Amino acid sequence: MLVVNRISVTLCLAIAATGCASNNIRSDYDRATDWSQYETYNFFSDAGPDGTQYRSFFTTYMIDAITQEMESRGYTKSDDPDLLVNFNASLEDRTQVTTSPGPSVGMYYGYRRGYYSPWASYGFAAETTVSQYTEGTFNIDIVDARRQQLVWEAVGVGRVSQRDLEEMEQRVREGVPLYFENFPFRAGQAAPVTPQN
């Protein structure tokens, strides 16, 4: 059961990283931090859902995609890093119940113009639709390695589809940059950079 849960979480990460539109991704950073002190980074040894026993394809894809984003901002990977990166996710099965009114008796029978009413048995019942889906929540955290303090995080929420699961590597490559659109810092610079639209 534990293996199945780990696989499910791993698959969720792939969709959550990419299945969310960028407006479903929220981020924040520590405004009291002097960002000019950060030039190097690395990953927590157990980053991702796999723990320390093995590294899944998903974790490998994530590390590669985050590495590309960090290095494009001038950060260098180091064994003694200024910043540590972590990522994780959760999966939840959801049920959505939608009730919509049945056809309007008043509109259809409007030709009667209130002169007389239909029989009571003419009423139309409301229609209820129930749908099941899986929702994934995905986080990327960046931590000050020396203070062991979170300094930036991005959180995304999205639905998991079968297609997303089948195209995991592509979804990760497309999704991680959406998270990093909200990361406003470059290595060694104190001031945040305004995202380019």
Cα–Cα distance measured from residue 133 to residue 161, given in angstroms and rounded to the nearest whole number: 8
**Predicted pLDDT of residue 117:** 60
48 sits in the region (left: phi over 0; alpha: psi -120 to 50; else beta) called: left
**Predicted pLDDT of residue 58:** 78
Q: How many residues belong to the chain?
A: 197
- Cα dihedral angle (28, 34, 40, 44), rounded to 10 degrees? -50
Cα–Cα distance measured from residue 152 to residue 186, given in angstroms and rounded to the nearest whole number: 13
Please name the fold of domain 2-97+136-180: Double Stranded RNA Binding Domain (3.30.160)
Burial class (CB in 10 A: 0-12, 13-18, 19+), 116: exposed
Q: Which helix (H) or strand (E) holds 64?
A: helix 57-72
- Per residue of the chain (197 residues), give pLDDT as tens: 333 344 444 444 444 444 444 458 899 999 999 999 999 999 998 887 666 566 777 788 889 999 999 999 999 999 999 999 999 876 566 676 767 665 555 555 556 666 666 655 555 566 777 777 666 778 899 999 999 999 999 998 877 666 766 777 888 888 899 999 989 999 999 988 875 54
User: DSSP character for 194?
Assistant: P
**Predicted pLDDT of residue 108:** 57
- Within a 10 A sphere around the Cβ of 1, how many other Cβ atoms? 5
**Predicted pLDDT of residue 113:** 61
**Predicted pLDDT of residue 4:** 37
52 sits in the region (left: phi over 0; alpha: psi -120 to 50; else beta) called: alpha
- Domain range summary for the chain, segments of one domain joined by +: 2-97+136-180
